Amino acid sequence: MELIATPVDLHRAARQLPRPLALVPTMGALHAGHLALVARAQELAAGGTVAASIFVNPAQFRPGEDLGRYPRPFAQDRRLLEAAGCHLLFAPTAESMYAADTSVTIRENSLSQTMCGLARPGHFDGVCLVVAKLFHLFQPDFALFGQKDFQQLTIVRRMVRDLNFGVQIVPVPTVREPDGLAMSSRNAYLSKEERREAPILYRTLRGAADKCLQGGITRSELEGWMSAEIGQARSSRVDYAVAVHPETLQPKTDLVPPMLLAAAVFFGTTRLLDNYLLDHANGTL
């Protein structure tokens, strides 16, 4: 696996890489969810290039968030990617990605104004900025994103449409622990007690999906039920628990597919996300 550490070197190398090229953007601290992205990338880029990036992007963290303590097990991540059959790893420093006087940015004005965007203003602009940079550098044919971060996936798709990037965004289903907890690099922050309680998040989303399919419930009743259910866990604090349209992320008035049930919940000081997608076939995507 080739390791490239600067945008300049990547720009040069990317032009020569066998195509198609599938890109898996990450912030490292890799788990089985990331490896599922790499496995899908391999299918899409058969005969071409599977590339990954590891970059803990300062632009998407707000002051006081976990930028400083975000796990960075680089040697282990590198081994995992190599073993998974990745051909190229781009792992730049923040200084090489952002000039000290960076002044051109990206702003998303609709989809980021709800859900996680309310608690983390500017976060998705930072995600768009780094993803746009990666797309410029790699010129990928495919880019893979996990469905756990559904709002991110929706916003990246919108950016690709609105800024005419020539890349196909490929969603990959969430990988879960045996008890249902969605894999996340931030699960490592959970205490024993918080880890024991955290599966209530996905259990509740599934329960909410069942309630929707049964009918006879309004959106505010459903959202209230989700918050109360999750709130039973002592270490939990619900940031939001909502039923929205999966493309617009606007509240659903009729609780019928397509619908995204999504929640962000603190367990102690760790904020976890999860969602359940009801599509037209009443299943997950």
Give me the residues that bind ligand PAF (CB under 6 A), please: 25-27, 57, 60, 127, 130-131, 149, 152
CB of 232 to ligand PAF, least distance (A): 29
Q: Are strands 259-267 and 270-278 parallel, antiparallel or unpaired?
A: antiparallel
Tell me the sheet residues that pair with 266.
237, 271
The dihedrals phi and psi of 22, each to the nearest 5 degrees, come to: -110, 130
Nearer CB in complex with ligand PAF: 10/200 = 10
Nearer CB in complex with ligand PAF: 57/154 = 57
Nearer CB in complex with ligand PAF: 127/255 = 127
- Using CA atoms, how far apart are residues 196 and 234, in angstroms rounded to an integer? 11
* Residue 272 C-beta-side C-alpha neighbours within 13 Å: 26
Nearer CB in complex with ligand PAF: 131/261 = 131
Nearer CB in complex with ligand PAF: 129/212 = 129
Q: Do residues 221 and 207 touch, judged by C-beta distance below 8 A?
A: no
Residues recorded for the chain:
285
Nearer CB in complex with ligand PAF: 112/152 = 152
CB of 207 to ligand PAF, least distance (A): 27
Tell me the sheet residues that pair with 241.
263
CB of 31 to ligand PAF, least distance (A): 11
CB of 26 to ligand PAF, least distance (A): 5
Q: Do residues 256 and 244 touch, judged by C-beta distance below 8 A?
A: no
The dihedrals phi and psi of 258, each to the nearest 5 degrees, come to: -80, 140
CB of 156 to ligand PAF, least distance (A): 7
Catalytic status, residue 34? yes
Which of 34, 87, 123, 136 is labelled catalytic? 34
Tell me the sheet residues that pair with 260.
244, 277
CB of 152 to ligand PAF, least distance (A): 6
CB atoms within 10 A of CB 106: 18
Nearest to 148 by CA among 183, 198, 112, 188: 183
Return the active site residues.
34
